[in-house]
Amino acid sequence: MSVTLNSPISWKNAAPDDVKMLDNLQPNIVKPHVREFLTLLFLQFNQPVGAKNFLKTLSTSMMKSAKQHLKEIEAFKAKPAKPGTPYIGLGLTKAGYNILGITKTPADGLFDKGMQKSSLNDPAVITWDPYFQHPIHAVLLVGDMLNDKKAAALDKVMSLIKKSKGVTIVGAQDGAGLHNDNKEGIEHFGYVDGRSQPLFLQEDIDAEENGTDGTANWDPGFPLKQVIVPDPAAPDPKVHFGSYFVYRKLEQNVRLFKAQEQKLADRLFGKDEEIAGALVVGRFEDGTPVTMQFEDGVESPVPNNFNYFSDKSGAKCPFSGHIRKTNPRGSGGFEDHAGERTHLMARRGQTYGVRTDNPNDGKIANKPEKYVGLLFMAFNSDIGNQFEFTQKNWANNPGFPAVPPGFPAPGVDPVIGQTPNDAARTKMEAATQWGNPKSLKKVATVPRAVTMKGGEYFFMPSLAFLRSL
């Protein structure tokens, strides 16, 4: 037997090697861990012995496994509900492995190079948050659905760091959930986020299949090999797995984006910034996919059972829509459907920054221009084929997806697209009447309102590795 990699698994009926894998895998990889309140600590190791002792104690006394997390979710759903324990996650950079003296390091070449050397048209490193200018050896995530529980867990972690020799905190970043009036998680521009995810557990796929939304038009099930890889430095890499963790701090100029939504609406219809925003993102603020209808209000749960096959001219969802660029659902035109699916990653983002306005009040003048945004976090088994492919070959590429002959190129992703001077960021095409190709109109798109403020590639190793140090 070996770990099941070519399909999702049922964690409740897992085969023995899959159980060993889940017992040693960090939480938040195969299923999101609720972490409404989150602190990330960026660490530097100054000597290997102290750092190893720190990692060993942390992983033995404070970190739980994916399996334990899944059991906690069951206990939370039971009556009476039993609250879970805080999430503590740990990732290492290549430099971190080097200073620990570990030579069997994860093999991904981009992990080796680090994010600073990637070619994603990111802003100059000198403009990133200052702590990204220092070498970072590890990231520690501490999260919980309750702030006081997160704070207590963070206190414990901090006192362990203080007691440990050769471990220094070089940066810290808080995240905190943001919600709409339906209590759904939103990002700062006001859109429901995190709905579309690859699912790796049969129990989650069954729930989606049996839910009101169904799965006839979009299969949310993905093989485990899309999110986990053997941990080369673990005692038994045949059953001890980890995952590459991509972290990017993305500042959002909310005032600019909301004002531009209105301008785009003026250019297209003379009013209705709700639809204009949906044409930019691909979903309305409440999550309704614009490829399904031209107004918001699709009943909860937020739908994810859709594709773009009935929208070959982009007259429902523009080819440039953020969610169409980042998951064309089989319609991208350069690869077959199966190939396209291999680029999806497990997104685990969290909003950051304090809002003094009401994010849902529909006003523009009081919206923040700085210091709020998205901590983009995603688990990958292949950084080049997943995160970098999505950012570079899809979002930044004005020629993606393929369009019918005679149609203008879609342009870069209006939310996250990055080109050196934004010259390719000029026009977008959208229909003024839903689904009517004759009503397609080419208009100036929204300017860039998302600025990358730093990031790094980490590997979240198995607990077996950390405990063996």
Catalytic positions are 206
Q: What share of the chain is helix, strand, coil (3-state, %, to 5)?
A: 30, 20, 50
> Under the criterion CB under 6 A, does residue 94 sit at the interface with ligand HEM?
no
Q: Report how many residues bind ligand HEM under the rule CB under 6 A.
A: 26
Q: Scanning the structure block, which residue is given the tokens 């220094």?
A: 168
> Under the criterion CB under 6 A, does residue 244 sit at the interface with ligand HEM?
no
Q: How far apart are CA 89 and CA 26, in angstroms?
A: 7
Site for ligand HEM in 379-398 (CB under 6 A): 387, 390-391, 395
Residues 6+ apart with CB under 8 A from 148: none
Amino acid occupying residue 143:
G
> Under the criterion CB under 6 A, does residue 240 sit at the interface with ligand HEM?
no
Nearest alpha-carbon partner for 130 in 189, 160, 173: 173
Binding mask 195-234 for ligand HEM (x = CB under 6 A): xx--------------------------------------
In Å, how far are 224, 256, 463 from 379, measured between CA atoms? 11, 30, 16
Contact range with ligand HEM by CB under 6 A, out of 76-84, 208-216, 360-368, 370-378? 370-378
Binding mask 325-364 for ligand HEM (x = CB under 6 A): -xx-------------------------------------
> Under the criterion CB under 6 A, does residue 305 sit at the interface with ligand HEM?
no
Binding mask 146-185 for ligand HEM (x = CB under 6 A): ----------------------------------------
Q: How far apart are CA 128 and CA 123, in angstroms?
A: 8
Contact range with ligand HEM by CB under 6 A, out of 51-59, 141-149, 193-201, 360-368? 193-201
Task: Rule CB under 6 A: choose which of 25, 374, 383, 431 binds ligand HEM.
Answer: 374
Please identify, using beta-carbon distances, which residue of 239 and 292 lies nearer to ligand HEM.
292
Q: Structure tokens of 91?
A: 């990732």
Task: Rule CB under 6 A: choose which of 416, 446, 466, 469 binds ligand HEM.
Answer: 416
Please identify, using beta-carbon distances, which residue of 240 and 324 lies nearer to ligand HEM.
324
> Under the criterion CB under 6 A, does residue 316 sit at the interface with ligand HEM?
no
Q: How far apart are CA 320 and CA 416, in angstroms?
A: 11
Three-state DSSP class for 17? helix
Task: Rule CB under 6 A: choose which of 283, 348, 425, 448 binds ligand HEM.
Answer: 283
Amino acid occupying residue 241:
F
| Torsion sign over Cα 418, 420, 422, 425 | negative
| Helix (H) or strand (E) segment spanning residue 89 | strand 87-92
Q: How far apart are CA 260 and CA 414, in angstroms?
A: 11
Inter-residue contact 205 to 221 (CB < 8 Å): yes
Residues 43/47/53/58 CA torsion (nearest 10 deg): 0
> Under the criterion CB under 6 A, does residue 249 sit at the interface with ligand HEM?
no
Please identify, using beta-carbon distances, which residue of 41 and 450 lies nearer to ligand HEM.
450
Which residues are near ligand HEM by CB under 6 A?
187, 189, 191-196, 250, 252, 281, 283, 322-323, 326-327, 373-374, 376, 387, 390-391, 395, 415-416, 450
